[in-house]
Structure 1
Amino acid sequence: MSKPFLARGSRIERCGNCLLAKSVCICSYKLSYQAKAGFYLLMHHNEAFKPTNTGRLIEDCISGTKRFEWSRTEPSEALLMALSDPAIDPYIVFPEADDYRERMVDYTLKPGKQPVFIILDGTWRQARRMFRHSRYLDTLPVIQPRITATSQYKLRKAAVPGQLCTVEVAAEMLKLVNDQVGSEILANYFSIFNEHYKSSRMDRPVVTDSEAKQWIRAYQQLC
């Protein structure tokens, strides 16, 4: 079972959905978009209640996103069942390295199959451990995310220079499958998340007409 968030800011009255302070809730900016790829988030148990976690932003916007709690010894039955679906083409998203280079692949569209990207949702140290100790994932191909922009995530210090957070990785993977709209949805929603979280930390009003908010509102009106 995931443990409650007890770190700095744990006493703030938070929205039960986005986990931000109620005064800066971002739920009104949520979307339901049918992307050209699916996402399975394999989440470290320490991440579930962290308001700084960005995996939930993918769940907020991309229809069909699934979340599974990681276990080294007992793989999620729901995850294994999801991976057995013959209609999907699953990949683990992780940086390349020499000791598993034979598993690295480039993305190729497979007619009749939906690409599904499995993102290990945790700190870099946690994600590396999840990747190396999940023997039940060893048969899956690994794909390295392309990094086309500098990370905008400022709420935690990156362990590796140039490292992207979970939602930024998802946005890059949507670019890879030529889903620019989906990528922009995630990028703009993430920008709003960053802006509101920073406003809460600094106890200042949020910007009501940022470019990201204008973009999301315009898209909402089209739906």
Structure 2
Amino acid sequence: MTKRPCCTRCLRPQSHCLCADIPDLHSATELLVLQHPSEQHHALNTARLLCLGLDTAHLLVAEHVPDDWMAWLQDADYRTELLFPGPDAGELASTSDGRPRRLVLLDGTWRKARKLYYLNPVLHPLPQVALPAGPPSRYRLRKSPGAEALSTLEAGVRALGILEPAIDFTPLLRPFERLIDGQIAAMGTLTYQAHFAHRGAGKPGKP
């Protein structure tokens, strides 16, 4: 069977390209998304959509943070935090100490996100922050360990909304909504209802 040609930017089949829905936004906050390599070519790759739509977001596909990113994470001129709800995590807040903000997100299943954390000691000194309770995820196509689980894109949008409340980051959700609706349409209503409609779904932007 001939493989369908794909868009080189969003990596979706050209017939289902999402680029027209991807915004071009700027934030004062820099994001680094560390993505487990197994997620790179997943059909529901929301981390890539987040980074394509935000000019201050960086997508790093690796199990180990390479040396050239160590200085970025350790730069004391920035307030760099890890979106990771560990036992000592505080709630993400807009309060500032005067330094520009940087936020690190781990992209993968909960098990893979935890693995990324433990494989990278450079992440361990970073203050851990968690999102406050909010609306449930719109990520309706993946099983989730809890109703609070969000896709990486949703977690990024919600975090940016807290850090920079004067800016509307919801346009970043447009390609995400179209992606989910397209996947549901392709599988058919009966299949979707049988397997997903009554379950929480989501891939964590935070483990």
- Which of the residues 41, 51, 61 maps onto 2:53? 61
Aligned mates of 1:24, 1:200 — CA distance in 2 = 11
Task: Note the residue ranges of structure 2 that are not aligned, 5 or more in a row.
Answer: 189-207
Question: CA 1:144/1:14 → structure 2, altered by over 3 Å: closer, same or farther?
Answer: same
| Structure 1 residues 17 and 147: alpha-carbon distance in aligned structure 2, compared to 1, 3 A threshold | farther
Match of 1:90 in 2: 80
Aligned-partner Cα distance in 1 for 2:24–2:112: 29
- 1:35-114 residue pairs with structure 2 within 5 A? 35-72=27-64, 75-97=65-87, 101=88, 104=90, 106-107=92-93, 108-111=95-98, 113-114=99-100
| Residue equivalent to 1:172 | 158
Indicate conservation of the 8 Å contact 1:26/1:196, yes or no.
Answer: no
Identify the range of structure 1 (83-92 vs 53-62) with the bigger mean alpha-carbon deviation.
83-92
Question: What is residue 210 of structure 1 aligned with on the other side?
Answer: none
- Mapped to 2, the partners of 1:180 and 1:197 lie a distance apart of 33
TM-score after normalising by structure 2: 0.79
Query: Aligned match of 2:135 in 130, 143, 149?
Result: 149
- The Cα shift of 1:61 comes to 1.0
Tell me if structure 2 keeps the 8 A contact 1:68–1:79. Answer: no
The amino acid that maps onto 1:15 is C
Task: State the one-letter code of the partner of 2:60.
Answer: F
Distance 1:197 1:21 in 2: 12
* CA distance in structure 2 between the aligned counterparts of 1:94 and 1:64, rounded to whole angstroms: 20
- Give the Cα–Cα distance (whole angstroms) in 2 for the partners of residues 196 and 71 of structure 1: 30
Between Structure 1 and Structure 2, how many residues are aligned? 187
Match of 1:132 in 2: 118
Q: How far has the Cα of 1:49 moved from its partner?
A: 1.4
CA–CA distance in structure 1, aligned partners of residues 62 and 90 of structure 2: 22
Once residues 155 and 96 of structure 2 are traced to their aligned partners in structure 1, the CA distance between those partners, rounded to angstroms, is 19
Question: Percent sequence identity over matched residues?
Answer: 22
Rate the CA distance shift 1:179–1:105 in 2: closer, same or farther, 3 A. Answer: closer
How far is 1:129 from its partner?
A: 1.8
Q: Distance between the aligned counterparts of 1:196 and 1:88, measured in 2? A: 39
Structure 1 CA distance for aligned equivalents of residues 179 and 20 of structure 2: 12
CA offsets, 1:16-71, max 9 Å, x none?
Answer: 22122222211112222111322101111111111211101111111121122333
Report the CA distance between 1:12 and its aligned residue.
Answer: 4.3
Q: How does 1:181-192 map to 2 (within 5 A)?
A: 181-192=167-178
Tell me by how many angstroms 1:171 deviates: 1.1
Shift in CA distance, 51/16, structure 1 to aligned 2, threshold 3 Å: farther
